[in-house]
Amino acid sequence: MKTETCLEIQAYVDGELDASRRATVEHLCATDPEARQLSEGLAALRSAVRAHEPEFQVPETREFYWSQIQRRMSAASAAAPVTVAGSAWTQWMRWLVPLAGAAAVVSLLTLPSREGQATATLASMSPTPAYAAPASSIIYRSDTDGVTVHWIN
Amino acid sequence: MNKRPSSASMPTSLKRDYVPSADDVLVGWAQQGDTEAFEQLVFRHRDKIYARAMLMMRNEEEALDLSQEAWVKSWQRLHQFQGDSSFATWMTRIVINLCLDQIRRQKKTRSESIEQLEEDAGGVERQMPVEIINPTEGLEKTELRSRIDEAMSKLTDAHRAVLIMHEFDGLQYKEIADRIGISIGTVMSRLFYARRRLASLLQSLRRERTE
Amino acid sequence: MRPLTGWPVLVYRCLLATLLLPAAVLAEEFKVEARLVWGTNQPKPAGKPFTALDDPSRDKVRQFKWTNYWVVNTVISPVPRGKPQLVNLSSKCAIDVIDLGNGNVEIRLFELKEGAEPKLVKPVQHSRKALKNGEYCILAGDDKKVWDDAWFVILTGGR
């Protein structure tokens, strides 16, 4: 079975198809046992997984967990669930702080380093900016084999 | 944090009864700055939010940190909550976004081993016939839950994230694509690989049990 | 004339080496070999000039489970410091490679369509030295047309 057909059947099971594509898949499942089996298998798996979501409990007491959140809420300077009109200085700071941060980052990336290594390291860690949305990929590396694989999605 | 009136400073006649109050009432109070109402919301949903972080990250420490961060973020953005979805759904989306950001950060610094490639590319499952057998057969409810958890822990971050967002958050393909920043086609193929892998893992776990 | 002996010979040779070495280094233009490979369980299609992937390369992709890896095309791509040169691997894909000058080369994969500009699919970077030392940089993905098949672009530092 072709990839497209498998994905179309899956989209059918997930309720993602419009009426005409739905009818096409229904016809396929009615005539092709392999397609029907895949559709039924996917539906069974879907409902089994949805009905058995793994459960976890916070491994700390309610009081301790809340106290940690409270501490972080206090530390967060901009904790403001109610919108309060700030002073002119506050309004300016809202823009100035991110701008100053951005300037600091730019300076770090562009200042020449003595060895020329720090700059190269920082620059090579950031994604290549010159291209508009290239395909995403997952990178695998084996030092022993001397192989890097970029599996493109 | 802004100084706001809490129930402690209110006259006794206005004392709020948090425990029996519905989420939307508590949210309303919390939006006015009532931290006790917010604490009640945390108490009510903390396990669910932690569980979502734990499912995504598979690491207790990270899950604790991210779930707490999600609560702080939600307090900061509470005024944005309009009640279009339930509070629990809104919270879940915040924690999922934080987990996705964390995974992205880790991806930049962590190079996955080549052994994982087999799994991510579909690996052995690619060559198996397209067959997904009902995995519930012959398994008890509690056992199936732990097996699903075990199988999910063996998926890659990319596959697990799509599966969680689709199955447990009920997000459509397009919503997942927008939130992760991938195409709908990639969402579909990741979901399909994840399901095949999950089905295959559940089958092998069942085989182990019967042997 | 009496032939030069002793230290004058040494000085002469050193001078010669100093003059010729940069020229020799510049003359050694780095190239990469790019192979377009089809990963499949299917046998070689009749009438196609495909060859089986060599054993050392097969070993590098042993994590994959395909039975056959058919080399569809092999090209040698120059790695200039300046403008890169687009090299077609098939009617549907091409690469270009450029030396970034910071020890890395950048390999860009393009999708080709008739009557359209080449569309950038993926840029990746790899250490120039590592490629020269025999490392493999592989770009791969699912075959869009055939379920279970995949394509690979295997890059090595020119053999």
How, if at all, do strands C68-78 and C93-99 pair?
unpaired
Least CB–CB distance from C122: residue in A137, A145, A149? A137
Q: Among A114-118, B77-81, B89-93, name the one with the lowest average pLDDT.
A: A114-118
CB within 8 Å of chain C, chain A residues 120-149: 120, 124, 128, 131, 134-135, 137, 145-149
Query: Closest chain B residue to C149 measured between Cα atoms?
Result: B126
Residue B43, pLDDT score:
95
3-state SS, residue A11:
helix
Average pLDDT rounded to a whole number, residues B173-195: 89
**Higher-confidence position of C95 and C14:** C95
Instruction: Mutation target for A interface from C111, C121, C151: give the one with most A CBs within 10 A.
Output: C121
Q: Which of B162, B126, B163, B158 is nearest to B148 (CA)?
A: B163
What ipTM was estimated for this complex? 0.81
pLDDT tens for B3-54 read 344 444 444 445 678 888 899 999 999 999 999 999 999 999 999 999 999 9
H-helix or E-strand spanning residue C30: none
Burial of B23 (C-beta count, 10 Å sphere; 0-12/13-18/19+): middle
Q: Give the pLDDT band (50/70/90) at residue C13.
A: low
Residue C154: strand pairing partners: C35, C138
Q: How far is C45 from chain B (nearest CA, A)?
A: 20
Average pLDDT rounded to a whole number, residues B109-132: 47
pTM for this structure?
A: 0.55
Q: Among A31-40, A142-151, C90-99, name the one with the lowest average pLDDT.
A: A142-151
Residue B20, pLDDT score:
87
Least CB–CB distance from A135: residue in C122, C133, C134? C122
Share above pLDDT 70 across residues of chain B, in percent, rounded to a whole number: 74
pLDDT at C133 over 80: yes
pLDDT tens for C59-84 read 988 877 788 999 999 999 889 988 88
d(CA C56, CA A95): 57
Contact B118 C65 (CB under 8 A): yes
Which of the listed ranges A104-108, B169-173, C5-9 does the model predict with the highest average pLDDT?
B169-173
3-state SS, residue C23:
helix
Query: Closest chain B residue to C150 measured between Cα atoms?
Result: B121
pLDDT at C25 over 50: no
Count chain A–chain B contacts defined by CB atoms under 8 A.
179
pLDDT at A92 over 60: no
Contact B71 A38 (CB under 8 A): no
Residue A136, pLDDT score:
65
Residue B24: strand pairing partners: none
pLDDT at B70 over 50: yes
Q: Among A31-40, B52-61, C13-22, C105-114, name the one with the lowest average pLDDT.
A: C13-22
Residue C103, pLDDT score:
86
DSSP structure string for A82-147: S-----HHHHHHHHHHHHHHHHHHHHHHHSPPSSSHHHHHHHHHSPPTTSSSPPPEEEEEETTTTE
- Answer for the pair B96, B164: CB distance below 8 angstroms, yes or no: yes
Q: Give the pLDDT band (50/70/90) at residue B132.
A: low
- Answer for the pair C85, C104: CB distance below 8 angstroms, yes or no: no
Average pLDDT rounded to a whole number, residues C30-54: 90
Q: How far is B92 from chain C (nearest CA, A)?
A: 33
CB within 8 Å of chain B, chain A residues 6-65: 6-7, 10-11, 14, 16, 34, 37-38, 40-42, 44-46, 48-50, 52-60, 62, 65
Contact B114 A147 (CB under 8 A): yes
Residue B124, pLDDT score:
40
Give the CA distances from residue C39 to residues B153, C70, C142, in Å, rounded to whole numbers and listed in that order: 29, 7, 9
Q: How many C-beta neighbours within 10 Å does residue B116 have?
A: 14
Q: Give the pLDDT band (50/70/90) at residue B151.
A: confident
Residue C3, pLDDT score:
54
- Answer for the pair B69, B98: CB distance below 8 angstroms, yes or no: yes
Average pLDDT rounded to a whole number, residues A41-46: 90
Average pLDDT of every residue of chain C: 82
pLDDT at C57 over 70: yes
Average pLDDT rounded to a whole number, residues B103-114: 60
% helix / strand / coil in chain C, to the nearest 5? Answer: 20, 40, 40
Residue A131, pLDDT score:
32
H-helix or E-strand spanning residue C95: strand C93-99
pLDDT at B176 over 80: yes
Which residues have C-beta within 8 Å of that of residue B165, sequence separation ≥ 6?
A: B96, B171, B175, B176, B179, B180
pLDDT at B101 over 70: yes
Average pLDDT rounded to a whole number, residues B146-164: 88
